[in-house]
Structure 1
Amino acid sequence: MKFKLNQLLKKYKIVAFNFVDVGAMDALEYIYELDAVTCIVGFEPNKNEAYKLYKKYNRVPFQSFVLETDCLSDKQEEVEFNIMKHASMSSLLDIDFANYKKNFGQYKEFDSWEKNVKIEEKIKVKSITIDDYFKEHTFIDFLKLDTQGSELKILKGASKLIAERRIAIIKVEVSTIPIYKDQAVFSDVDLFLREQGYVLVDFLTYRAIYNPLFGKSQNRNSHYAPCGDAIYILNTEYLNESSKIRSAIMLNWLGYISLAKHIISKTILTLDEQNYILNYNFKSLKKMFKQFLINICPPIVLYYFKKILF
């Protein structure tokens, strides 16, 4: 029997996937192949970066697309937001320069890294919580947090949704070293989420992926991985039928096939339908072309391709 994913979703009355991308600079995270049934809310306090995101995504045929410039935290108030020289390092928190240098001072890239975290501007923004923003009955299928040290504050600001089991998968940037002042580290985030019924799926550490074709690479044995992305899923006993199917689809998209199979086997989908979803190839031409460039380009060339294409 032949299936089509959109028809399968309709059969089981799955009308939307809700994605929330916090710290959405450069790119939003969602399943490209399901953009027509995707409701996405992005948060980016840096208005220049928010405008770039809007230009990049306003023509994508999402079911709904909202981009907010409020800052998420654990309370409602006016706060100072630090815009760094490299916009991706912008944060509610100040850099801990002493600890930064202690842990990274001998890296050949440190001089440029240090310049990137210099504050260029402090702006006043309104902070709100996830609980404030998302009203009753909203279920978040995928929450991504990349906010340079304030992730635990944001999670604590989502305590109501978390307690009501209304967030399925969380992808959160974490660090084992506090780069920012008063930053929660991985163990803090991990303990908080485990206490709320979440299970750690993976910890994807950041590493240098380029090696020269000839000669020895510098810092060959250096550790580039004090931080990365931790992925959590709500214990499946708290998920209903529809959210199990959606979570299995997203885990397949993220590459966790065994876990996806375990969850989808607990649903009413037929075996053929389960196999169809598990074997669905979430590789758009754009993603394959991007991976091709990553594989063949040296870093300096890839840097400019990213600015143009990604």
Structure 2
Amino acid sequence: MTLDAPKIAATEAARVLIDLLALDRLISVVDIGASRIGDPPPYRPLLASGIARLTGFEPQAEELAKLCAAGQPNETYLPYAVGDGAEHTLHVCAASGMTSLLRPDPETLALFHEFPRWGQVVETRRIATRRLDEIEEVDRIDYLKIDVQGSELPIFENGRDKLRPTMAIHTEVSFVPLYLEQPPFGEIDRALRSWGFIPHAYASLNRRAIFPVIIDNDPYRGLNQLLEADIVYVRDFRRPERLDDEQLKFLAAIAYCCYGSYDLAIHALLLLAKRDAVAGNGVEAFVAAIRKAAAAP
């Protein structure tokens, strides 16, 4: 049984789940590096269903203006650069998606088609950063999405208080760092595991062919070399005694509505049913709705 995540918000199963959960408050979603490049953000179904509020951070003025112009109710966008609280140099690159507080590594970029052009630094400027724990506009984080081109780890380290109740983190990681002094995947993974998270899913996986090889005359087509990925980490559900009812409800909503992970959602619901926090027959109704949605053309 499979179901594509982008279609989930409109399914009967999502509506059944939301009714079953009967959330007492909106899920607090935070997006650090919120510029819209590529696919819609994974939390979009939560916002569309009216069960979440979003606080997005985007220090690039042009990208921030786009976000604000397209913003919907329950969406707030702020111009802060989130980091360790110190002042840093922002490296503005030819491709806005590569702009970073870290300097691109030209030797590594040269190994992959198009990256030397995308990663060309066209401007530098000093920029103040704010520690996540000290940002007053964010009272708590239930679900974090972060894409900051190599600066993820300092943000995590300076946001540990706000991340204590967090149930899911969607983060970009690099197997081959494209920036100087960028922590690779292993360091991100070790840190998040030490704070009580475990990997749940690859939201995307970016493979590239190593220069000068081009596959089928397509410079964007990869072969085997792992470059980057978006990985979803969730709070370690193997220790349910450490999770309260609200956290389990949020986990179920995020798992299903954002990623189509009905197995994790059902696991959370069964735990809630044992606590009499949701109706047992409601779990059965959710499973039936999933089966119906999966069978639909």
Cα–Cα, structure 1 residues 171 and 15, in superposed 2: closer, same or farther, change >3 Å? same
Question: How many correspondences in the alignment?
Answer: 256
Quick check: 1:127 aligned with 2:118?
no
Equivalent residue, structure 1, for 2:151: 150
The alpha carbon displacement at 1:32 in A equals: 3.0
2:46/2:52 contact within 8 Å kept: no
Q: Give TM-score scaled by structure 1 length.
A: 0.74
2:247 is aligned to 243
Distance 2:288 2:154 in 1: 37
> What is the one-letter code of the residue matched to 1:151?
E
Aligned counterpart in structure 1 of residue 26 of structure 2, from 9, 16, 27 = 16
43, 61, 68: which one aligns with 1:30: 43
Q: 1:61 to 1:276 in 2, by over 3 A?
A: farther
Deviation at 1:224, TM superposition (A): 5.6
Q: Which moved more, 1:217-226 or 1:87-96?
A: 217-226
Higher relative contact order, chain-length normalized (CA < 8 Å, sep 6+): 2
Partner secondary structure for residue 194 of structure 1: helix
Aligned ranges for residues 65-84 of structure 1 at < 5 Å? 65-73=75-83, 75-84=84-93
**Aligned amino acid, residue 131 of structure 1:** D
User: Tell me, what secondary structure is at the counterpart of 2:142?
Assistant: strand
Residues 217-248 of structure 1: per-residue CA shift (max 9 Å, x gap): 34777236311111111123332101201111
Alignment-mate amino acid for residue 147 of structure 1: V
SS of aligned partner of 1:25? coil
* SS of alignment partner, residue 232 of structure 1: strand
Choose from 73, 76, 84 the match for 1:61. Answer: 73
In the alignment, which of 46, 50, 62 is matched to residue 60 of structure 2?
A: 46
Could you tell me which of 245, 257, 261 is aligned with 2:262? 257
Q: Does 1:139 align with 2:130?
A: no
User: In 1, distance between residues paired with 2:222 and 2:93?
Assistant: 29
> Once the 2 structures are TM-superposed, how far is the Cα of residue 99 of structure 1 from its aligned partner?
2.1
**How many Å apart are 1:167 and its aligned residue?**
1.2
Amino acid at match of 2:63: E
Structure 2 stretches lacking a partner, 5+ long: 1-12, 209-214, 291-297
Q: How does 1:224-303 map to 2 (within 5 A)?
A: 225-236=226-237, 237=240, 238-253=242-257, 254-267=259-272, 268-277=277-286
Per the alignment, do residues 113 and 275 of structure 1 end up closer, same or farther by CA in structure 2, a change over 3 Å counting? farther
* Offset at residue 13 of structure 1 (A): 4.2
Give the deviation of 1:24 after TM superposition: 0.7
- Once the two structures are superposed, residues 86-136 of structure 1 have per-residue CA deviations (whole angstroms, 9 ceiling, x without a partner) of 1011100000111222x42xxxxx2x3211111122233220111111589
